[in-house]
């Protein structure tokens, strides 16, 4: 009888430990300090082979990681892969060397088997509307975050990678008070719908874009200029059930191949509003 009781107690203890591990292993939490560049682009530090690298956070990039030629030379454990090819918003083609890295650290989170490609300066110049295209030549992109939920809070210089709502609430982020916005996946990332003076527009969330933009069209009237570029100023900018007020939308020649979107939600908006981005569920919550 004593053996049966002892066996039962051991069984209960082991089961409790397993259950505890299962419950808490579902949660992840990492906090990264970020800085906003003079041209409103968020940057942070990542760690590869125990060395830190300054990178932009570019949620519009389909590439997990971009490093300079010099940084790649310093990495000992990299496996050469095929060249990567892509097109920019105007449809121009580019290519770069790529490698596979065994580990990359984002704060307390370690990611494995990460594809990195070499910085292409010509592409950087084509994507640069303001500032020096060589100022931040390295970046982490959307694929590093697609399995996670993140909070990007540029006002407080924080990036949280976490699905622990209780812990986030203690940090001052009550997601239940944010505006919930369902999104769709596109080739440039998550796309949300915004109501403007020109009607409903599908904008891709892109922290690599300094400004919010629309595809240029002959139908758009009352065009102004800013930084010597054409703009349309919308008096309303409604996301979900909230009107965020007037916003300048830069008019760009976006390739017709990207027919799933009408423009970009850039850092001129994102830097002023904390965002909880649930990549797996394709939902964004905006403060």
Give domain limits for the chain. Answer: 30-170, 179-286
Q: pLDDT band at residue 135, thresholds of 50, 70 and 90?
A: low
Q: Taking a C-beta distance cutoff of 8 angstroms, is the pair 154, 271 a contact?
A: yes
Q: What pLDDT, on the 0 to 100 scale, is given for residue 5?
A: 56
pLDDT grade for 120, boundaries at 50, 70 and 90: confident
Provide, rounded to the nearest whole percent, the portion of the chain with pLDDT above 90. 70
Residues 26-46: what's their mean pLDDT? 92
**Whole-number average pLDDT of the chain:** 87
Percentage of the chain beyond pLDDT 70 is: 88
The span from the CA of 265 to the CA of 249, in Å, is: 9
Q: Is the pLDDT at 266 greater than 70, yes or no?
A: yes
Separation in Å, CA 31 to CA 41, 46, 120, 159, 237: 18, 12, 30, 6, 30
Say what the pLDDT of residue 4 is.
54
Q: What is the mean pLDDT of residues 145-156?
A: 96
Predicted local confidence at residue 9, as pLDDT: 54
Please tell me the predicted confidence (pLDDT) of residue 86: 85
Highest mean pLDDT among 20-29, 212-221, 236-245: 236-245
- How large is the average pLDDT for residues 182-202? 95
Query: Could you give the 3-state DSSP secondary structure of residue 201?
Result: strand
* pLDDT score of 39: 82
Q: Is the pLDDT of residue 271 over 90?
A: yes
The reply to whether 30-170 and 179-286 are identical in fold is: yes
Q: What is the pLDDT of residue 132?
A: 46
Per-residue confidence (pLDDT) for residue 274, from 0 to 100: 96
Q: Give residue 231's pLDDT band: very low, low, confident or very high (50, 70, 90).
A: very high
Provide the CATH number for the domain formed by 179-286 in this structure: 2.40.70.10
As a whole number, mean pLDDT of residues 221-243 equals 92
- Contact assessment for residue 197 and residue 206, using Cβ atoms and an 8 Å cutoff: no
Lowest mean pLDDT among 65-74, 221-230, 257-266: 221-230
Q: Is the pLDDT of residue 283 over 90?
A: yes
Q: Over 70: is that where the pLDDT of 130 sits?
A: no
Average pLDDT over residues 130-134: 49
Between residues 7 and 234, which one has the greater pLDDT?
Answer: 234
Is CATH 2.40.70.10 what the domain over 30-170 is classified as, yes or no? Answer: yes
pLDDT range class, residue 98, cuts 50, 70, 90: very high
- Note the pLDDT of residue 10: 46
């Amino acid at each position: 009888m004593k053996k049966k009781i002892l066996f039962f107690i051991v069984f209960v203890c082991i089961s409790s430990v397993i259950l505890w591990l299962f419950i808490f292993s579902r949660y992840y939490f990492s906090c990264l300090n970020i800085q906003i560049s003079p041209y409103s682009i968020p940057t942070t530090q990542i760690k590869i082979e125990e060395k830190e690298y300054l990178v932009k956070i570019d949620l519009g990039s389909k590439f997990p990681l971009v490093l300079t030629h010099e940084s790649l030379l310093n990495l000992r454990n990299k496996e050469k892969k095929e060249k990567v090819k892509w097109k920019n918003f105007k449809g121009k083609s580019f290519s770069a060397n790529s490698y596979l890295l065994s580990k990359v650290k984002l704060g307390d989170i370690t990611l494995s088997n990460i594809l990195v490609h070499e910085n292409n300066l010509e592409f950087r110049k084509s994507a640069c509307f303001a500032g020096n295209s060589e100022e931040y030549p390295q970046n982490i992109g959307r694929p590093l975050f697609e399995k996670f939920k993140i909070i990007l809070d540029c006002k407080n210089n924080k990036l949280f990678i976490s699905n622990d709502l209780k812990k986030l609430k203690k940090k001052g982020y009550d997601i239940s008070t944010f505006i919930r916005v369902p999104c769709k996946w596109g080739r440039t990332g998550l796309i949300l719908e915004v109501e403007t003076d020109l009607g409903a527009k599908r904008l891709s969330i892109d922290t690599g874009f300094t400004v919010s933009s629309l595809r240029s069209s002959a139908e758009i009237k009352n065009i102004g200029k800013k930084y010597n570029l054409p703009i349309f100023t919308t008096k309303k900018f409604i996301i979900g059930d909230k009107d965020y007020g007037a916003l300048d939308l830069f008019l760009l020649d976006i390739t017709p191949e990207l027919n799933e979107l009408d423009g970009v939600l850039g850092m001129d908006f994102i830097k002023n509003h904390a965002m909880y981005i649930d990549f797996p569920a394709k939902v964004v919550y905006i403060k």
